[in-house]
Amino acid sequence: MNHFAFRDNELYCEEVPVQKIAEQVGTPLYIYSHATLKRHFHAFADAFKDVDNLICFSAKANTNLAVLKLFSNLGGGLDIVSGGELYRGLKAGFSPEKIVYSGVGKRIDEIDYALETGILMFNIESLEELDSINKRAGVLKKRANVSIRVNPDVDARTHPYISTGMKKNKFGINTEFAIKGYKAAMGLKNVKIVGIDCHIGSQITEIKPFEDALKSLKLLIKDLEAYGINIKYLDMGGGLGITYNDEVPPQPAEYARAIKKSLGRTKLKLILEPGRVIVGNAGALVTKVLYRKSTGVKEFIIVDAGMNDLVRPTLYKAFHAIKPVVLSEEGEIVADIVGPICESGDFLALDRYVQRVHQGDLIAVMSAGAYGFVMSSNYCSRLKIPEVMVKENKFHVTRKRQKYEDLTKGEKIPPYL
């Protein structure tokens, strides 16, 4: 069931008219469907229920506390890439024993925070990082659980900016050097080898890249066993895509069948890190039409949301469906939907067939639940916008819109000025 749907020509989120939310909260704003978030999490978890697993939501996709709390309540774990995400995860109620720390650039203070918290494991991205974690664990009199992120040189066939599994990418340790890394870890007294990790990219719409990566990992695990290195956790990362336009990505059940078939009988505990596939289509960005403009060769619809609110179209030329919040019979036009930022790259859609709209009308930018608010900024001193969660016939503001005074918090003019 699609929880963003039209009733009597008006867009609803669950049982609440989107226009009603916009009128009370203001625009622009993000809206998330509680039912969709819950359904997507269960779809993923149920697909793997017959194998020992831990579903660690990828926090970088959406760190709204209400969203995180929902997944924590459902028994999920968390995949983090910063100390800030660890802080948010703990605030949302995640058990430290269900938190996995990934990322190529862990600072010393972040490593210490994670060690003192007692997270499940660090996914190691370089030998220097391994050495740093060992040293900090020694200083803190801790023992760090580690896995090594192996880069299997698999082409995920996705946008180059979100491809992470090839030799030319900055992530992980190449397969041929992974054994060297594991041997080095064996000689360190403050770390304990517990797993192996792999993440090949994001918005992947085919099964084969995952199968190729798992095949490579299985061979490596077998080689490690010969050296007396026994792996407990197999972290397959995330990356499963969603439908933004005309993509037909595999469903979680199909993805799970392929992974379980390739994995075979094993005693390994499978860790999965879905992000976009759970939250992407559970959210929408709602924005108001400010002005219309025609240059004779181009039609522009100028709205109050900009690239600082949703940067994906600018950054990746990503497609997001554009829907009117209220349907009319005025027909369609081809237009650029652009924001108020003083950049030519400030757009939400280019040359798009959209319903003819007027000043004050509302537009919904769909599939904005992942990499939306989390990538937003205060560029042009614009206020960060509110986030709202809808459950059945009620909605709750889970993040308030910033105020102007928030823009200068923490700043100080020196006395010589």
Q: At what angle do helices 108-117 and 127-139 cross, to 10 degrees?
A: 60
Of 132, 120, 131, the residue nearest 94 (C-alpha)? 120
Task: Name beta bridge partners: 389.
Answer: 32, 396
CB-based contact 283:29 (threshold 8 Å): no
**Which of 139, 12, 126 has its CA nearest to residue 394?**
12
Query: Which residue is listed with tokens 């990499």?
Result: 371
Distance of alpha carbon 110 from its chain centroid, rounded? 20
For the question of residue 56 being annotated catalytic, the response is: no
Is residue 266 packed enough to be buried (19+ CB in 10 Å), middle (13-18) or exposed (0-12)?
Answer: middle
User: Residue 245 and residue 263: Cα distance in Å, rounded?
Assistant: 31
Q: Position of tokens 């100390």? A: 83
What would the two tokens of residue 70 be? Answer: 């929902």
- Cβ–Cβ under 8 Å, residues 48 and 272: yes
Q: State the amino acid at position 312 in one-letter form.
A: R
Residues 6 or more apart whose Cβ sits within 8 Å of residue 146:
121, 122, 123, 124, 130, 133, 185, 191, 192, 193, 194, 195
Instruction: Tell me the two tokens of residue 110.
Output: 């972040």
Task: Please confirm whether the linkage preceding 28 is cis (ω < 30° from 0).
Answer: yes
Nearest alpha-carbon partner for 308 in 360, 366, 385, 227: 385
Q: 13, 56, 198, 342: which is the annotated catalytic residue? A: 342
Return the half-sphere exposure (C-beta side, CA atoms, 13 A cut-off) of residue 197: 30
194 in Cβ contact with 146 (< 8 Å): yes
Contacts of 316 (CB under 8 A, 6+ apart): 159, 161, 162
In the numeric block, the tokens 């023992």 are attached to 143
Cα(389)–Cα(281) distance, integer angstroms: 14
What is the set of active-site residues?
342
